Amino acid sequence: MQIAHRSPAKVEGRARFCRVPWLLGVVLLLLASTRAQSPTAGEYQVKAAFLYNFAKFVEWPPSSFSNASAPLQICIFGRDPFGDGLRALTADKTVNGRRFEIDTVVDLQHARTCHILFIASSVPIPVKQIVEALGGANVLTVGDTKGFAEQGGMISFVLENDRVQFEVNRKTAEQAGLKISSKLLSVAKLVIG
């Protein structure tokens, strides 16, 4: 392998004017001042608002509450994606005179006393197992993955065109003793059963 002679000269790139990067910054600043038009929000902000609405449009049997002033429990199973969003949204709200309580559960046996159970996408347990573990309890199961409702869950969130939609499995909800208002069903993207 022949190695050709190399010149030992020092090599430098030419420095560019000071001004141009500043110009770029100013242009970007101007561009940024254009305001966005349509309503936008974080994905889990919207899902938190949906959970609040599910509480409004679903009827639980009176036996699922210990008394008239018992709070409505929303439980989160798996990695909590809401941050403070869900707590902040429901902090001072009531539904049928009941305040909200947000909890996290680590095992499904404790979830039987929840009214709404949100199953995060991080949970690897198959839907069938979740349904079995909750069998008989009046818990509205909400899942974050497509197909959750088809596989036995009650409501699944679906992202379509960057918008949050939801699917409802009316049959499994009825089997759990829950009554879903037709208002909620009419807005659902898909109703099963």
Partner 1 sequence: MCMPCQLFAAVRTWLRPRTTAICRAVSRTAVPWLSILVLTATAIAQQESNDLSQASLEELTNIQVYSASKHMQSAIEAPSSVTVVTADEIQKYGYRNLADILRSVPGFYVTYDRDYTFVGVRGFGRLGDWNSRILVLIDGHRINNNVLGQAMLGNEFLVDVDMIERVEIVRGPSSSLYGASAFFAVINVITRTTKEVQDWELSFQTGSFGTNEGRATYGHQFNRLGVLLSGTFYDSQGQTLFFPEFNHPATNNGITSNTDFESYKHILATLTFQGFTLQGLFSTREKGVPTAYFGAVFNDPADLNIDTHQYVSLDYQHPLGKWQLDASTSYDQARLQGPVPEAPAVAGDPVVLSTYSFRGNWWTGEVKVSRELFERNRLTLGSEVRDNLRQDQGNLLSPPNMFSPEPNRSSITAFYVQDEYGITNRITLNAGVRYDHYSTFGGTANPRAAVIYRAAAKTTFKLLYGNAFRAPDAYETSPDFGVFYDDNLKLKPERIQSLEARVDQGLGQYFQLSGGVYRNRITDLISLVTIPADQNFQYQNAGSAQATGMDVELSGHATNGLQGKASFDYVNAYSDDAGHPQLDNSPRHMAKLNLNIPLVEQRLFAGVEGQFLGRRLTLQQNSLSSYQVFNVTLLGHAVGKHLDLSAGVFNVLDKKYFDPGRPEDPEDAIQQDGRNFRIKITGRF
Cβ burial of 96 (10 Å; 0-12, 13-18, 19+) is: exposed
Q: Is the dihedral of CA 94, 61, 56, 159 positive or negative?
A: positive
Q: Minimum CB separation from partner 1 for residue 80, in Å?
A: 8
Does 190 interact with partner 1 (rule: CB under 8 A)? no
Q: Applying CB under 8 A, which of residues 33, 63, 67, 69 lies at the interface with partner 1? A: 33
DSSP state of 14: P
Distance spanning both ends of the chain, measured CA to CA: 76
CB closer to partner 1, 84 vs 174? 84
How far is the C-alpha of 91 from the C-alpha of 148, rounded, in Å?
28
Q: CB under 8 A: which stretch of 110-118, 133-141, 156-164, 168-176 binds partner 1?
A: 156-164
Does 83 interact with partner 1 (rule: CB under 8 A)? yes
* # residues near partner 1 by CB under 8 A: 68
Does 182 interact with partner 1 (rule: CB under 8 A)? no
Which neighbouring-strand residues pair with 174?
A: none
Does 32 interact with partner 1 (rule: CB under 8 A)? yes
DSSP state of 119: E
Q: What angle do CA 8, 12, 13 make, to 5 degrees?
A: 145
**What string marks each residue from 110 to 149 as x (binds partner 1 by CB under 8 A) or -?**
-----------xx-x-------------------------
How far is the C-alpha of 74 from the C-alpha of 52, rounded, in Å?
9
Interacting residues toward partner 1 by CB under 8 A? 1-16, 18, 20-22, 24-25, 28-29, 31-46, 48-50, 52-53, 57, 79-81, 83-84, 89-90, 93, 106-107, 121-122, 124, 159, 162-165, 183-184, 187, 189
